[in-house]
Amino acid sequence: MTPSSVPYADVPARPWVSADAERWANARVPAWARPVGPAAVLLVAVIMAAVMLSPGTVCTVAAPCGAQWLDAAGAMLFLPHLVWLFVLPEFALVSAPLLLFWMANPGVWQGGRAEKIADAIVVAALCWGWAAVVARLRTRRRRRSLVLDAAGGITAPAPATNDVRAWRRGLVHGIAGAILCAAAGALITTVVVANRADDRLARTATPQNARVVAYDTDNYTITVRLPDSTRHRFDTQGTYRAGSTVPVLVRGDWLRLATEPYGDHTGRQSLALTLAGLGVTLLGSGLLSGRRAAALRHAPVPVLRVLARHHQGRTEIFAAHDTAALRPVLSYRPHVHTRTALRQALLYGTPNEGGELILASATESGHWLVEATASPIRRGSPAAGKPGTDRPGTDRAAAHLRAAEVRVQNALATMTPATGPVRWQAGPVARSVGAVFLVVSLMLLGTLFTSSHTWWQLPIWSVGGVYWVSVCLRMMTWRITADSAGLHVRGLGRTRHLPWADVTHAVYTPGSELVVRCRTGVDDTRVGSVGFPPLERLLRRPGRAEHAAAEITAMVREPILRPTSDTGRT
């Protein structure tokens, strides 16, 4: 962000009036076109078709399980496709037809009726996702048209900023993607070279029948005993039975299964294709970001006169006449975080999902601050729709805030001045639910650790287990103590002291998170998820966190209600 003395007040820009802003906000993606639905159905169907219901692969000398690069690439494309549905719909528009073409191969439709039904669901989910992507891209075009209409066709060159250069947008993603793609290419080359070397040795190798002495279904390996009583272990793709015989090609110290010519290289092949998918994702994201940033600065773009402010680390844009800052039209994260009140501003560009904007906002000194977006653009304010915030933006969030205000008013009417410290802590519902979740989590983790023999699973389950255990413990042990000096907030293992002068209010969000809001310049204190609203409503037992938020807010508004001595009630 950089101050500028350019007379932006004289720029011939039309105000973004509330009616036009409302039309832009209402041009939203249909509910059926949101990526969560098709992605979830596709993920479940792929797991069922590829893992749970698929029959074991049978590899024979007549039909060996070879490298099968096309099949492997098609199978591995599902993972980046799921990511592209959320972050790169332009790529998903291409990957969906490719996956449908791959699914058209009759060899994919193997197995019984259940697997074929799962395959059909995969096809349906791919079609659904492709239609959803088309709808999202059409919504983008519709929004661009609405912005241009609201601007009255007026365009202007976007000003330059010192905090970010156009060529820097997407640079990190682009470099990381290029490195991953290069690593994938090098790994693929080594696999191909190794396969060719194996083929040359196989032409002069001697076939022998070896007995399968062990088949590890967790790590997909078999151990065979050769005619000379030596043993060897192979990585496999197919299914084998202990006690059966398999043909093995032997030449000196070199061995390989005749039914799986490239089984030992399957792991590297999968890793290479995974790196390729991740690299293409990062590279594509970087290139698109750079292209959008360059287009914003190389040609005149629509310009609108708006109101803007920086709030909780984000820049919020309001219609030009929304001087009360009631309904943020859009928001994004800037490169430089500041805290300012509502200001006049000029908005350059077409605000849209994944788009780029430049904002020139006025300051009290008479200069204008010019900033660029550093995050995806969001309709409204995430502070209005996400759990953990208290800004109105949706009907559900507004209803939650109205109920919270009713609780505060009731607290103001019923509370009496406290004669000693007041404590709020977990109630019986939260403690019971937390204890049950904790016991179940520990049992599941114990089962997974004792039954899993794959090394890479242990770190994943460890991280997830530690996180979930910490959530359960926080739900059971949180506590806030109010005394004459302020609040003492205990989350999980640490206590933070907040003087009354720093506290503005407390909120219990729809996502069951308790947050103590502080004045400008002091970070908010998040106690964490400390309740279980569905069960609390079912049992008609309001959570202690709701009462804590209401009574703390009442104490902030009416200092006479705050504790005045060292002994008191809980």
Q: How confident is the model at residue 391 (pLDDT cuts 50, 70, 90)?
A: very low
Question: Mean of the pLDDT values across residues 117-125?
Answer: 84
Range 44-68 average pLDDT: 64
- Residue 493 is which amino acid? G
CA separation, residue 128 to residues 81, 93, 109 (Å) = 13, 11, 20
Check pLDDT > 70 for residue 271: yes
Secondary structure percentages of the chain, helix, strand, coil, to 5: 50, 20, 30
- List all residues 6 or more positions away from 152 whose beta carbon is below 8 Å from its beta carbon: 14
For residue 385, what pLDDT is reported?
43
3-state secondary structure of 70: helix
CA 370 from centre of chain: 29
**pLDDT number for residue 130:** 94
Q: Kindly report, residue by residue over 319-354, the tens digit of the pLDDT.
A: 988 888 878 888 887 876 665 678 888 998 888 876
Q: Are 550 and 410 in contact (CB under 8 A)?
A: yes
Distance CA 345, CA 271 (A): 49
pLDDT at position 272 over 60: yes
Q: What is the mean pLDDT of residues 540-564?
A: 84
What is the radius of gyration, based on Cα positions, of the chain?
Answer: 30
Residue 132 has pLDDT above 90, yes or no: yes
**Percent of the chain at pLDDT exceeding 90:** 9
- What phi and psi values does residue 551 have, to the nearest 5 degrees? -75, -35
Cβ count within 10 A of residue 274: 16
Strand order of the β-sheet with 503-508 is: 503-508, 513-518, 525-529
Q: At what angle do helices 395-414 and 544-557 cross, to 10 degrees?
A: 70
Question: How far is the C-alpha of 262 from the C-alpha of 332, rounded, in Å?
Answer: 49
Judge whether 201-263 and 381-426+478-570 match in fold: no
Q: Which are the contacts of 533, defined by CB distance < 8 A and separation ≥ 6?
A: 510, 512, 543
**Mean pLDDT, to the nearest integer, of 78-93?**
90
Residue 459: per-residue pLDDT:
66
Q: What is the per-residue pLDDT for 96?
A: 92
Distance of alpha carbon 7 from alpha carbon 344, whole angstroms: 13
Whether 84 and 77 have beta carbons less than 8 Å apart is answered as no
Domain 201-263 maps to which CATH number in 1.10.1760, 3.40.50, 2.40.128, 2.40.50?
2.40.50
Query: Is residue 127 over pLDDT 90?
Result: yes
CB atoms within 10 A of CB 230: 10
Tokens of 552: 């703390």
Model confidence band, residue 567 (pLDDT cutoffs 50, 70, 90): low
For residue 374, pLDDT over 50 is answered with yes
334 - beta bridge partners? 373
Q: In percent, how much of the chain has pLDDT > 70? A: 77
Predicted pLDDT of residue 252: 78
- Phi and psi for 30 in degrees, rounded to 5? -60, 155
Higher pLDDT, 411 or 263: 411
Contacts 24+ apart (CB under 8 A), 490-493: 491/526, 491/527, 491/528, 492/528
What pLDDT score does 568 carry? 47
Q: Is the pLDDT of residue 141 over 80?
A: yes
Mean pLDDT of 554-564: 89
pLDDT at residue 178, as a whole number? 92
pLDDT at 236: 77
Q: What pLDDT digit, counting tens, does each position of 451-496 carry?
A: 655 555 566 666 667 777 777 777 778 889 998 888 998 876 678 8
> Which residue has better confidence, 467 or 207?
207
Question: DSSP readout, 205-246?
Answer: PEEEEEEEEEEETTTTEEEEE-TTS-EEEEE-SS---TT-EE
Rounded mean pLDDT of the chain?
A: 78
The DSSP 8-state label assigned to residue 247 in this structure reads E
Angle between helices 78-87 and 89-103 in degrees, nearest 10: 150
Query: Which tens digits make up the pLDDT trace of 291-314?
Result: 887 777 778 889 999 998 887 778
Residue with tokens 């989350």: 491
The order of strands in the sheet holding 206-216 is 231-235, 221-225, 206-216, 245-251, 254-257
| The domain made up of 381-426+478-570 is a member of CATH 2.30.29 | yes
Mean pLDDT of 43-48: 77
Structure confidence at residue 107 as a pLDDT band (50, 70, 90) = low
- Reported confidence tier of residue 386, pLDDT bands at 50, 70, 90: very low
Nearest-angstrom CA–CA distance, 51 and 108: 13
Q: Name the pLDDT band for 109 (thresholds 50, 70, 90).
A: low
Going by pLDDT thresholds of 50, 70 and 90, the confidence category of residue 539 is: low
Compute the average pLDDT of residues 237-245.
77
Q: First and final CA of the chain: distance in angstroms?
A: 48
| pLDDT above 80 for 118 | no
Question: What pLDDT score does 108 carry?
Answer: 62
Q: What's the sign of the alpha-carbon dihedral 344, 346, 351, 357? A: negative
* Helix and strand totals (H; E) in the chain: 14, 22
Query: What's the confidence (pLDDT) of residue 133?
Result: 94
Lowest mean pLDDT among 183-187, 304-308, 433-437: 433-437
What pLDDT score was predicted for residue 179? 93
In the predicted model, is pLDDT for residue 394 greater than 80?
no
pLDDT of residue 464: 67
Question: Predicted confidence band at 390 (pLDDT cuts at 50, 70, 90)?
Answer: very low
User: Residue 41's pLDDT is what?
Assistant: 86
pLDDT at residue 2, as a whole number: 47
- Domain residue spans of the chain: 2-26+288-379, 201-263, 381-426+478-570, 428-477
Pairing of strands 503-508, 378-379: unpaired
Q: Which residue has the higher pLDDT, 70 or 43?
A: 43
